[in-house]
Chain A
Amino acid sequence: MKRYYQLLLSLGLLGLGASSGIAQNKPKPLTEDDFYEIKTVAIPDGIRLEAGGLAPMPDGRLGVCTRRGEVWIIENPYQTNGTKPSYKLFASGLHESLGLAYRDGSFYCTQRGELTKLTDTDGDDKADLYENVANWDLSGNYHEYSYGPVFDKNGDMYLTFNVAWVGYGEGKLAKWRGWLVKVTKEGKLEPVATGLRSPAGFTVNSNGDVLFGENQGDWVGSGRVTHLEKGDFAGNAGGLYWTKEPDSPLKLTREDLPDTGEPMYEAAKKVKALKLPAVWFPHAIMGISTADMIEDETNGKFGPFQGQYIVFDQGQSKAMRMSLEKVNGKYQGACYPFREGFQSGTVRARWGNDGSIFVGMTSRGWGSTGKDLYGLQRLVWNGRLPFEMKTISARPDGFEIEFTQPVDAKTASNASSYELKSFTYKYHHNYGSPIINQEKTPLKGIIVSADRKKVRLVIDNLRKGYIHEVRPSGILNEEGQPLLHEVGYYTLNNIPDGEAAQLTEAQKVKASTTPAPSTSTPAKKTTPINGTKKVAEAGLIDSKQVAALLKKHACTSCHAEATRVVGPPFTEVAKRNYTNEQILELVYHPKPENWPDYATEMASMTHVPKADVLKIAAWINALGKKKAQADLNKLENHD
């Protein structure tokens, strides 16, 4: 509903403008659910399907392994024509199994300390053979989670190993913690790359390349996806302890790392092995705990994003989208919001045979926006084409956005339709990072392609190594619909060579019309219609406007008005009786210790403009008063 208001406001104002191409009747606002449906796979009462791994089988059944060490085979998981799925316990007794694959009649499951091949040899759909394919040492620290296997084309398997948590990420407590390893068909374990902190999701893509998702933490300013090749160091120092081993493919040590808080891009200039992320996922905005990722190889069954990746976030119970390109031989690209609203912590995803995605979930002890402790859902494209930025690609002088549909030329040519800025994170041993070095990237020119499916943006202040936020929020399609998601974040490690765009006078952006990025939302979005602006100025709070702000700044990913999500409900915050200024301070410099009952610490949100935070703060405090008033009423009524 919040999005509905936001769209109404935006459309309403534009309707007053000169946009003649727009139909007279306001189109119905569209939501994610109009294109990608979440279908819940029913779980029988009594089964705690704390999904850690998923393995669709060629015959249409689905294998699911759980954090309680079970492997279930679900027959009829697509629930065709409203029929029910049937669950069989295939295996049990494993130790926090967080990955599952199916191959040649057996399941391969990664437990904390062992890669196990599970086979049913007597045809009763119950594994009777639990073979040790490979095992490895553990220290006994809970954070030494092990993930995989993911098969490559040769039938070898990749696994990833979390570092231990001892107040920081520590790899030395057990061999190869913090590493990507390969286990050959013969069961030989080979170290491949290190610098991994909490690599819950990774994939081998159609080129045979390994991409892994990292969770914000020490040495990791924000979530990200990194391409790992043999000998790479992905950033977290924990695993470097083992580079002294003879079979380590790199010799880097902890002492070689600059721990200065400079951007990772700068650190990588000094440390050759340090691998830059292909795509940063800005913390709290695009997730808080990167999980699984899968490449769209459905040839259109899942929609218009063939070759792209769907990346999940456990904490925010959502799917994001990632497009990659190779510039100077290295992967880089952009991430975009895609689909929210899963029931629990979306940790695992695999393609179903029909081009839908099975999403396995768990949140026990980890927390998630989806309030269920566990769950299994399917994300299904319903055949309608969403109006989205299909890709953002780097150009020598800016970016090119390709859309899924032709855009309305008028809004696309209008510089005020765009907000652009860039920023990055610190590279240091501390946990996480604030957004740093945020700067404007002024728009110099706009070129709309002849077929109106592409827009080339020529911008100033392109910065190598920086995350460039591209927000064409004013663009409409031919039907007058705004983008389903109005933002993408492009990680510009490399700027491609090539010719700069030749701008005509009409394509040039006049300096005065360039909007000021990194300030509050453009007026068209925040200025309420029907004269509510006056009310807002008079000190009263426009909850619709605040709803839009909460959404825009991703507050709603973790907070709801009255219910506990990842973080406390706003009504609980109101009870603390902070001043608006104190709330501002806490938004910029959160004190997780104030909320010891919440597993996930809040990120610093210094990138949110002060004016916006203060509006939100006033609204939060008004909630408290409302509640107090309601309680008072109750008391009075009770008399």
Chain B
Amino acid sequence: MLKRLFFLLFPVSVYAQTEIPLNDLSQFQKPSANWSIEGQIVGTPQGEALVTTPGKGILVNTLKAAKYQRTDDLVFALEHGDIRLSLDYMIPKGSNSGIYLQSRYEVQILDSWLKLRPSDGDAGAIYHRWDESRGAGKEGYEGHPPRQNAIKAPGLWNHIEIDFQAPKFDANGKKIANAKFVKITLNGVLLHENVELLGVTRGAVSTQETSKAPLMIQGDHGQVAFKNIRYEVFDKPLVQMGTAEYAYYKGKLADLKVKDQKPEVTGTTKEPSMKLAEAKSDFLLRFDGTITIPEKDTYTFTTNWTGTGALLVDNDTITTGSHWYNEDVQGKRTLTAGVHKYTLYYAKDFGWGPRALGCFVERVGTHRQSITERTSLPEPEATPLVEITIDQEPKLQRSFVVYNNRKKTHAISVGLPGGLNFSYDLNQGGFLECWRGKFLDATQMWHDRGEPQTAAPMGVTIQSNGKFPLAFIASANASFPDSLNKAELKYKGYQLVKQENGVAYPVFTYEYNGLSIKDQTIGSAKNEGLVRRLQIGGNAISSQPLYALVAEGEVIKNVGKNLYAINNQTYYLELLGETANQQAVVRQSNGKTQLLIPVSGLKEVSYQVTF
């Protein structure tokens, strides 16, 4: 039976549908002179200014440390109530800005890089409210610091996603629901979920709450740049649900065919529900109902069931198959305005697992609406988080690690004091991911029997290439190997080597074509980045020159002395020591840009990954 159930591992969802074009400033209300549209922008970790290049696609505030002026803020033409917003932003060192939902509720942008305990004034915070009548030093209140600091180094792009619900009012204008941040993630890290705001935050254009108002960006506290601004607002008319006839059949009917079998029960229901089935298994429910479509559009139907089911609209099959109830099975149809018939089947022919039936409809511009009754689809089981935390000493933890949608089976995650972490493929001697923030989520390994046996980063993550960084290749034009076999690269183990402060850090040891490589990664002085040192000993048995591939990505930009911004400015790579004296090569290879260093004869290859 189990084999019949298909598991959808990566349901695709588009977060925000509409992109605001950044060809000019026409999308904004009376933009002040400090705002411009640029083509490229470059910064460095310590640089207090971003350097722009003319062009299109990037919105930049060039005002530097100006005196507070309300008119420096940028008000969007877009007025919104409920909204999902996603965008990328970049700031230089020390800068400050903010995203004001409805010009009233601020998600803070600030150079909070390296701060270990962010407050309600730091990047990713829902900024506090302000009331001078509370007395000096107590004016700020009801702020929400982020769950952890998730901002990257100055000069790198940050990606934020915000799901916001506007306050709701009754016909008399009385507020009946607070404004709410349903979810905020920064650089993939969940910072807030379902946080209600009792009023507007500091700096709001008005203390008066409203159902619709423009989006606004703060522009009076320093440089900031934005791109990829996308949104979805939820203001379109809803689908109306009609009643449904239902029929309940007994038996193993996973083919959804009842032939001439008589139903045990028939009736009418306001909302379809699996609870109309009497048995725990071996039954089929059929619902025939109507929905009224308000206007012609493309509608997405989502169904969930444990067992087998099908949704037909106007006798056209939208979704079908055998699934577990936590999987969203989706189908789209363009429907005209007016009444449409639907048929919903649900059959369960095995005993395990809960009975579950969910059916939903949505379109761009509306929230998901339920066709089925609320309790017909059970909520997922509550699973406690199993977190591995770092205290004074580094921690290492082997597990499977999901990398490019595949499991790396011989992987180890290393968490360092100071908030930097990395995962490492022991078979290849390569970084998989580096991250800043909390260490490791081991729930999928240590909850229950831990069938996935995976552990995952809990902070801001940079993906690396998983490759051993050294290789003997014919020349700087030759391709670098994707992986090495056990005969070429032999993993020997690791040693925990004590530093001067008595704290022990791992050194991974490999044999590679006669060379003995010791690979150690520690945090830089202030934990700006991970410093990797590959000590090279032994005698090479290859006659080819030795190269180090230190970075790989879409675009690599040289942004300072020995400093490169990698993969569209998602992290920096700095060459250190002797490695910095080599003639670095930025090249194209197999569709990627690579940063290659000739290192023949070097005793150490070292570089820093900063983010």
Question: A residues within 8 Å of B by Cβ?
Answer: 67-69, 92-96, 111-114, 116-117, 122, 126-132, 135, 137-140, 142, 167, 364-366, 591-594, 596, 599
Is B410 interfacial (CB 8 A cutoff)?
yes
Bound Cα distance from A364 to B3, whole angstroms: 26
11 contacts between A and B (CB under 8 A): A69-B398, A93-B398, A122-B498, A128-B496, A128-B497, A128-B498, A128-B504, A130-B496, A132-B492, A140-B407, A365-B449
Is B243 interfacial (CB 8 A cutoff)?
no
Is B47 interfacial (CB 8 A cutoff)?
no
Contact of B352 among A95, A135, A167, A593 (CB under 8 A): A593
- CB-based contact B453/A96 at 8 Å: yes
Bound Cα distance from A127 to B495, whole angstroms: 9
- CB-based contact A113/B494 at 8 Å: no
Bound Cα distance from A111 to B453, whole angstroms: 13
Chain A residue, CB-CB nearest to B409: A138
Task: Report if A135-B448 is in contact (Cβ < 8 Å); known contacts: A93-B395, A95-B398, A116-B493.
Answer: no
Q: List CB contacts (< 8 Å) of B235-287 with chain A.
A: 280-281
- CB-based contact A140/B449 at 8 Å: no
Bound Cα distance from A390 to B449, whole angstroms: 38
Tell me which residues across on chain A come within 8 A of B491, comparing CB atoms. Answer: 132, 135
- CB-based contact A593/B409 at 8 Å: no
Tell me which residues across on chain A come within 8 A of B353, comparing CB atoms. Answer: 596
Contact of B3 among A94, A167, A596 (CB under 8 A): A167
- CB-based contact B449/A142 at 8 Å: yes
Bound Cα distance from A95 to B446, whole angstroms: 11
- From residue B589, how far is it (CB to closest CB) to chain A in Å? 28
- From residue A215, how far is it (CB to closest CB) to chain B in Å? 14
Q: List CB contacts (< 8 Å) of B451-468 with chain A.
A: 451-453
- CB-based contact A68/B493 at 8 Å: no
- CB-based contact A596/B352 at 8 Å: yes
Task: Report if A591-B351 is in contact (Cβ < 8 Å); known contacts: A93-B397, A140-B400.
Answer: yes
Given A95-B453, A167-B3, A364-B446: 15 more A-B contacts, CB < 8 Å: A94-B398, A95-B398, A95-B399, A112-B398, A113-B410, A117-B493, A128-B496, A131-B492, A132-B492, A140-B407, A365-B448, A365-B450, A591-B351, A593-B350, A593-B352
- CB-based contact B412/A364 at 8 Å: no
Chain B residue, CB-CB nearest to A48: B446
- CB-based contact B409/A113 at 8 Å: yes
Is B396 interfacial (CB 8 A cutoff)?
yes
- CB-based contact B449/A596 at 8 Å: no
Chain A residue, CB-CB nearest to B411: A95
Is B478 interfacial (CB 8 A cutoff)?
no
5 shortest interchain CB distances as A-B pairs = A365-B449, A593-B351, A140-B407, A93-B396, A95-B398
Is B2 interfacial (CB 8 A cutoff)?
yes
Q: List CB contacts (< 8 Å) of B78-123 with chain A.
A: none
Bound Cα distance from A366 to B448, whole angstroms: 8
Chain A residue, CB-CB nearest to B442: A68
- From residue B561, how far is it (CB to closest CB) to chain A in Å? 37
- CB-based contact B281/A130 at 8 Å: no
- CB-based contact B495/A135 at 8 Å: no
- From residue A592, how far is it (CB to closest CB) to chain B in Å? 8
- CB-based contact B397/A69 at 8 Å: yes
Bound Cα distance from A112 to B491, whole angstroms: 16
Q: List CB contacts (< 8 Å) of B383-408 with chain A.
A: 395-400, 407
Contact of A92 among B350, B395, B409, B446 (CB under 8 A): B395
- From residue A568, how far is it (CB to closest CB) to chain B in Å? 14
Q: Report how many residues on chain B are interfacial, defined by Cβ distance under 8 Å.
A: 37
Tell me which residues across on chain A come within 8 A of B450, comparing CB atoms. Answer: 96, 142, 365
Bound Cα distance from A599 to B494, whole angstroms: 37
Tell me which residues across on chain A come within 8 A of B2, comparing CB atoms. Answer: 167
- CB-based contact A129/B493 at 8 Å: yes
- From residue B416, how far is it (CB to closest CB) to chain A in Å? 13
- CB-based contact B351/A366 at 8 Å: no
- From residue B29, how far is it (CB to closest CB) to chain A in Å? 53
Task: Report if A138-B495 is in contact (Cβ < 8 Å); known contacts: A364-B448, A591-B351, A596-B352.
Answer: no
Bound Cα distance from A594 to B352, whole angstroms: 6
- CB-based contact A364/B397 at 8 Å: no
- From residue B85, how far is it (CB to closest CB) to chain A in Å? 37
Tell me which residues across on chain B come within 8 A of A92, comparing CB atoms. Answer: 395-397
Chain A residue, CB-CB nearest to B490: A132
Chain A residue, CB-CB nearest to B427: A135
Bound Cα distance from A132 to B449, whole angstroms: 26
- From residue A132, how far is it (CB to closest CB) to chain B in Å? 5
Most interface-central of B281, B491, B495, B504 (chain A CB within 10 A): B495
- CB-based contact A142/B452 at 8 Å: yes
- CB-based contact B449/A130 at 8 Å: no
- CB-based contact B409/A112 at 8 Å: yes
- From residue B283, how far is it (CB to closest CB) to chain A in Å? 14
- CB-based contact B409/A139 at 8 Å: yes
Bound Cα distance from A142 to B450, whole angstroms: 7
Contact of B495 among A111, A129, A364 (CB under 8 A): A129
- From residue A81, how far is it (CB to closest CB) to chain B in Å? 35
Tell me which residues across on chain A come within 8 A of B498, comparing CB atoms. Answer: 122, 128
Tell me which residues across on chain B come within 8 A of A67, comparing CB atoms. Answer: 446
- From residue A523, how far is it (CB to closest CB) to chain B in Å? 39
Bound Cα distance from A566 to B449, whole angstroms: 15
Tell me which residues across on chain A come within 8 A of B395, comparing CB atoms. Answer: 92-93
Tell me which residues across on chain B come within 8 A of A111, comparing CB atoms. Answer: 398
- CB-based contact B409/A140 at 8 Å: yes
- CB-based contact A140/B453 at 8 Å: yes
- CB-based contact B496/A112 at 8 Å: no
Q: List CB contacts (< 8 Å) of B402-455 with chain A.
A: 407, 409-410, 412, 426-427, 445-446, 448-453
Bound Cα distance from A612 to B581, whole angstroms: 86
- From residue A110, how far is it (CB to closest CB) to chain B in Å? 12
Bound Cα distance from A69 to B396, whole angstroms: 10
- CB-based contact B410/A142 at 8 Å: no
- From residue A135, how far is it (CB to closest CB) to chain B in Å? 7
Tell me which residues across on chain A come within 8 A of B280, comparing CB atoms. Answer: 594
- From residue B386, how far is it (CB to closest CB) to chain A in Å? 9
Contact of A114 among B399, B410, B495 (CB under 8 A): B410
Bound Cα distance from A167 to B352, whole angstroms: 15
Bound Cα distance from A117 to B400, whole angstroms: 20
- From residue A212, how far is it (CB to closest CB) to chain B in Å? 22
- From residue B417, how far is it (CB to closest CB) to chain A in Å? 15
Bound Cα distance from A139 to B406, whole angstroms: 10
Tell me which residues across on chain B come within 8 A of A132, comparing CB atoms. Answer: 426, 491-493
Bound Cα distance from A79 to B534, whole angstroms: 47
Bound Cα distance from A122 to B496, whole angstroms: 11
Bound Cα distance from A112 to B411, whole angstroms: 11
Tell me which residues across on chain A come within 8 A of B495, comparing CB atoms. Answer: 128-130
Contact of B351 among A95, A135, A596 (CB under 8 A): A596
Tell me which residues across on chain B come within 8 A of A94, comparing CB atoms. Answer: 398
Tell me which residues across on chain B come within 8 A of A135, comparing CB atoms. Answer: 410, 427, 491
- From residue B410, how far is it (CB to closest CB) to chain A in Å? 5
Bound Cα distance from A364 to B386, whole angstroms: 14
Chain B residue, CB-CB nearest to A591: B351
Bound Cα distance from A109 to B195, whole angstroms: 47
- CB-based contact B494/A130 at 8 Å: yes
Tell me which residues across on chain B come within 8 A of A129, comparing CB atoms. Answer: 493, 495-496
Task: Report if A593-B412 is in contact (Cβ < 8 Å); known contacts: A128-B496, A130-B493, A365-B449.
Answer: no
- From residue A90, how far is it (CB to closest CB) to chain B in Å? 12
Task: Report if A594-B351 is in contact (Cβ < 8 Å); known contacts: A137-B409, A142-B452.
Answer: yes
| Residue interface mask B1-31, A partner, CB < 8 A = 1 | 0110000000000000000000000000000
Bound Cα distance from A113 to B426, whole angstroms: 11
Bound Cα distance from A365 to B491, whole angstroms: 32
- From residue A593, how far is it (CB to closest CB) to chain B in Å? 3
- From residue B447, how far is it (CB to closest CB) to chain A in Å? 8
- From residue A251, how far is it (CB to closest CB) to chain B in Å? 26
- CB-based contact B396/A142 at 8 Å: no
Tell me which residues across on chain A come within 8 A of B407, comparing CB atoms. Answer: 140
Tell me which residues across on chain B come within 8 A of A112, comparing CB atoms. Answer: 398, 409, 453
Tell me which residues across on chain A come within 8 A of B281, comparing CB atoms. Answer: 593
Chain B residue, CB-CB nearest to A165: B451
